[in-house]
Amino acid sequence: MITIRSRSTARSFYRMIFALNTLVFAAAFFTVSPAQSNTDFGQWVNKVWPTARANGISRKTFDQAFAGVVPNPEVLERAKHQPEFVRPVWEYLDRALTPKRIGKGRELLRTYKSTLRKLEKRFGVERHILVAIWGLESAYGTRMGDLNVIRSLATLAYQGRRGKFGFQQLIGALKILERGDIPLSKFQGSWAGAMGQTQFIPTTYNAYAVDIDGDGRRNVWTSPADALGSTANYLRVSKWKKGAPTVIEVKLPRKFRFKYAGLKKTRPMSKWVAMGIRDKDGRGLKSSSRRAAVILPAGALGPAFLVFNNFRSIRRYNNAVPYALAVSYLAKRLKGKGTIVKAWPLNNLPLNLAQNRELQQLLIDQGHRLGAVDGKVGSKTIKAIKAYQQRKGLIADGYPSSALLDRLRKG
């Protein structure tokens, strides 16, 4: 496996991977045009073959993989589905941090104590984090997805709006079959092609999966050791810092300037301490050069957190902040800790897609420039919200809440 030992080496590694991906997949997008509804799937599969062959796939593997395969309507429905309602972060955490999941995780920590100790030593990633990801991704290997991976990815590449993603993952999946890592009959996963006990997509699997149990295969499907080891390797390459924290709940000073909050606004701990930020119980924090960012996943009315480099590494696995919080706090609960002190603002609900669009339009009507009205709350929308809040004398936390929308509706 590739070992990245320095920041400069890491940058070179990622540039190399990007260049290889560009060379490998460029031909596909010039020879395989986006499929139209009247394009025959069999003809499209034939057009995939030259790219597969160029990536080392044998004709035998290719034909076996596509035998009897037709597009899967369920995959298309899942791919285009936009959830009408956004689950509040506190509800997401409640569903993630169940007593059953915590209890099973503690049991598995004991069962795989020796394996986890070896993984900690080799990769530097804390065992509780690995088990937490295992629990959230597949309920410890009990819910890995039951859809044919080749069929799912071919459907996405052929008809889905995520065609580029689907094609890249499809070629990656064929490589897995070519190596014999798993039989075709067992090659199952989620609708988007995520596989195994810690839900790797094919390209991530090909780059980072490792054989821990020594059987000669990187088996993330039935080998917990390989699944956990592969996750540890991926986090390590994602710049995990051994022994460093992921997230801590904090108490903000009364006159905290919310313009300093946000994932990208990292500052040394010494500066946060100087600003008066304390731990959740009001005790002083240790001043250091370690960088962190303040996040407010439910706005100023909810809990505040300092998140560190390792929180960002978890977000490489899944970019959603609630997911990274869930992993971090499940790991804490597995150790018997991790109570969030400040109450969540249960009446100040996040907005659904249609409401976010309405919010954006109302902000535009008031003279704020934020681009397309698409319901996606990005940096421009947050900036506009903060500007509106400041003008109205509100706490400028940039949180798109139901209360904010009601205020905008009233003009």
Identify whether residues 183 and 47 lie together within a single domain.
Answer: yes
Whether the Cβ atoms of residue 190 and residue 147 lie closer than 8 Å to each other: yes
- CATH (domain of 55): 1.10.8.350
Q: Is the dihedral of CA 267, 269, 274, 278 positive or negative?
A: positive
Give residue 373's pLDDT: 93
Backbone angles phi, psi at 254, to 5 degrees: -55, -35
Given a cut of 70, whether residue 65 has pLDDT beyond it is yes
| Overall average pLDDT of the 81-86 stretch | 62
Burial class (CB in 10 A: 0-12, 13-18, 19+), 180: exposed
Angle, helix 41-54 to helix 59-66, in steps of 10 degrees: 150
Question: Distance between CA 98 and CA 315 in Å, rounded?
Answer: 21
Number of C-beta neighbours around residue 221 at 10 A: 20
Whether the Cβ atoms of residue 301 and residue 389 lie closer than 8 Å to each other: no
Give residue 83's pLDDT: 59
Given a cut of 70, whether residue 397 has pLDDT beyond it is yes
Give residue 81's pLDDT: 64
Question: Distance between CA 295 and CA 6 in Å, rounded?
Answer: 28
Identify whether residues 219 and 318 lie together within a single domain.
Answer: no
Given a cut of 90, whether residue 60 has pLDDT beyond it is yes
Assign 3-state DSSP to the chain and report helix, strand, coil percentages, each to 5: 55, 5, 40
Residue 92, CA atoms < 13 Å, CB-side half-sphere: 19
Q: Is the dihedral of CA 326, 329, 333, 338 positive or negative?
A: negative
Q: For 331-372, what is each residue's pLDDT tens digit? A: 999 999 999 999 999 988 889 989 999 999 999 999 998 888
Give residue 37's pLDDT: 42
- CATH (domain of 296): 1.10.530.10
Residue 223: which H helix or E strand, with range? none
Identify whether residues 191 and 228 lie together within a single domain.
Answer: yes
Q: How many domains does the chain have?
A: 3
Identify whether residues 228 and 252 lie together within a single domain.
Answer: no
CA 1 to chain centre: 23
Number of C-beta neighbours around residue 2 at 10 A: 11
Identify whether residues 196 and 255 lie together within a single domain.
Answer: no
Q: What pLDDT band is residue 21 in, cutting at 50, 70 and 90?
A: very low
Tokens of 408: 């905008």
| Residue of higher predicted confidence among 17 and 51 | 51
Q: Which of 306, 334, 362 is the last residue of a domain?
A: 334
Q: What pLDDT band is residue 27 in, cutting at 50, 70 and 90?
A: very low
% of the chain surpassing 90 pLDDT: 82
Q: For 167-195, what is each residue's pLDDT tens digit? A: 999 999 999 999 999 999 999 999 999 99
Q: Position 361: which residue type? A: Q
Give residue 203's pLDDT: 98
| Overall average pLDDT of the 198-223 stretch | 97
Averaged pLDDT of the chain: 89
Q: Does residue 101 lie in a domain region?
A: no
Identify whether residues 179 and 283 lie together within a single domain.
Answer: no
Given a cut of 60, whether residue 19 has pLDDT beyond it is no
Angle, helix 163-179 to helix 7-31, in steps of 10 degrees: 100
Print the domain residue range for 367. 353-409
Question: Distance between CA 204 and CA 289 in Å, rounded?
Answer: 32
Given a cut of 70, whether residue 62 has pLDDT beyond it is yes
Q: What pLDDT band is residue 161 in, cutting at 50, 70 and 90?
A: confident
Identify whether residues 255 and 221 lie together within a single domain.
Answer: no
Q: Does residue 104 lie in a domain region?
A: no
Q: Which of 305, 334, 363 is the last residue of a domain?
A: 334
pTM for the complete prediction?
A: 0.87
Identify whether residues 45 and 172 lie together within a single domain.
Answer: yes
